[in-house]
């Protein structure tokens, strides 16, 4: 695991956007695994800028998002499909039919999980998987305890996750379940790229990257991945103790 610490949030976001841009430029048909959440909003904003100013070309990309709330149709303003269309897909030259998220409103959610997992395999697997980390230690919505070999499935969200995300739903009720790629599905990606920023993530980041690999901190499974890069700002790196801290700016 490579840990890159940047002196500001903007520099951390810039580095993550550059790593994604490099993958898109190097590979004519890249398969990107994408994440949502507040941390990623500025990553997508930067990629949109790169598309507009530097003609970064997304036309060959296929994408698979990590997760979607159970029960929400893609048209719902709180769905992750809506987030992705608004912040990224509608702003760049990606073909919408090549963008995939689990269907949160599928009539049979277990069958939907199997379909989504199969679709990723049929695409040849994920080349670069973008990840955030939740206060509960989740990646995607793999809440503790999540096994390192878990696959795409329906999960119940942890109380911390509900606390973290409920304000985004305003007066509407946040779903208590979601479909998520499994930890094993994430670990099967060629490369993983985790971005965490802000002091509120410092404790869980240190448990994930310096603590033992445990189902109690699902993100700790990334220590098992052969090509995982973690990009942090100073604040998110604030609780790291022993491990060498690589600084890149
Ligand atoms: C969402 C996802 C989650 C978020 C995590 C951090 O697709 O994969 O694991 O990355 O909950 O969310 P923020 O960035 O809002 O703190």
Query: HEC states along 171-215?
Result: CCCCCCEEEECCHHHHHCCCEEEEEECCHHHHHHHHHHHHCCCEC
**Residue to substitute in 12, 64, 134 for testing ligand 1 pocket (most ligand atoms within 8 angstroms of CB):** 134
Q: Which helix (H) or strand (E) holds 49?
A: helix 38-54
Which domains, from first to last, does the chain contain?
2-245 (3.40.50.1360)
pLDDT for residue 247: 58
Measured on CA atoms in the order 108, 114, 119, 122, is the torsion positive or negative?
Answer: negative
pTM: 0.97
Which pair of structure tokens corresponds to residue 156?
Answer: 């119940």
pLDDT for residue 210: 96
| Helical pair 38-54 and 9-26, crossing angle rounded to 10 deg | 60
**Distance (Å, rounded) from C-alpha 141 to C-alpha 153?**
10
Cβ-count burial of 110 within 10 angstroms (0-12 exposed, 13-18 middle, 19+ buried)?
Answer: exposed
Residue nearest to atom 11 of ligand 1 (CA): 134
Residue nearest to atom 12 of ligand 1 (CA): 37
pLDDT for residue 243: 55
pLDDT for residue 211: 96
CA of 111 relative to ligand 1 center, distance in Å: 24
pLDDT for residue 89: 98
**Distance (Å, rounded) from C-alpha 154 to C-alpha 142?**
10
CA of 66 relative to ligand 1 center, distance in Å: 10
Nearest Cα to Cα of residue 114 among 34, 181, 56, 68: 181
Which pair of structure tokens corresponds to residue 131?
Answer: 């990840």
pLDDT tens digits, the chain, 249 residues: what are they?
999 999 999 999 999 999 999 999 999 999 999 999 999 999 999 999 999 999 999 999 999 999 999 999 999 999 999 999 999 999 999 999 999 999 999 999 999 999 999 999 999 999 999 999 999 999 999 999 999 999 999 999 999 999 999 999 999 999 999 999 999 999 999 999 999 999 999 999 999 999 999 999 999 999 999 999 999 999 999 999 965 555 555
| Helical pair 38-54 and 80-87, crossing angle rounded to 10 deg | 30
Task: Give yes or no for residue 127 CB within 6 A of ligand 1.
Answer: no
């Amino acid at each position: 695991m490579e840990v890159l610490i940047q002196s500001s949030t903007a520099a951390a976001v810039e580095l993550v956007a550059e790593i994604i841009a490099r993958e898109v430029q190097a590979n004519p048909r890249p398969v990107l695994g994408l994440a949502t959440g507040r941390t990623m909003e500025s990553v997508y904003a930067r990629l949109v800028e790169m598309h507009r100013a530097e003609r970064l070309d997304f036309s060959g990309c296929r994408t698979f998002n990590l997760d979607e709330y159970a029960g929400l149709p893609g048209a719902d303003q709180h769905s992750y499909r809506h987030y992705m269309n608004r912040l990224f897909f509608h702003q760049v030259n990606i073909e919408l039919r090549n963008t995939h998220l689990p269907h949160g409103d599928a009539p049979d959610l277990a069958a939907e999980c199997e379909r989504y997992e199969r679709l990723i395999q049929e695409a040849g697997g994920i080349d670069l998987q973008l990840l955030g980390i939740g206060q509960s230690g989740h990646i995607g919505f793999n809440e503790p305890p999540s096994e390192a070999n878990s696959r795409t499935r329906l999960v119940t969200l942890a109380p911390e996750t509900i606390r973290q995300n409920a304000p985004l739903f305003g007066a509407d009720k946040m779903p208590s379940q979601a479909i998520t790629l499994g930890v094993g599905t994430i670990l099967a990606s060629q490369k993983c790229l985790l971005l965490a920023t802000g002091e509120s993530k410092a404790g869980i980041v240190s448990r994930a990257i310096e603590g033992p690999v445990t189902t109690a901190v699902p993100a700790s499974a990334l220590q098992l991945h052969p090509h995982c890069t973690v990009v942090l700002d100073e604040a998110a790196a604030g609780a790291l103790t022993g491990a060498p801290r690589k600084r890149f700016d």
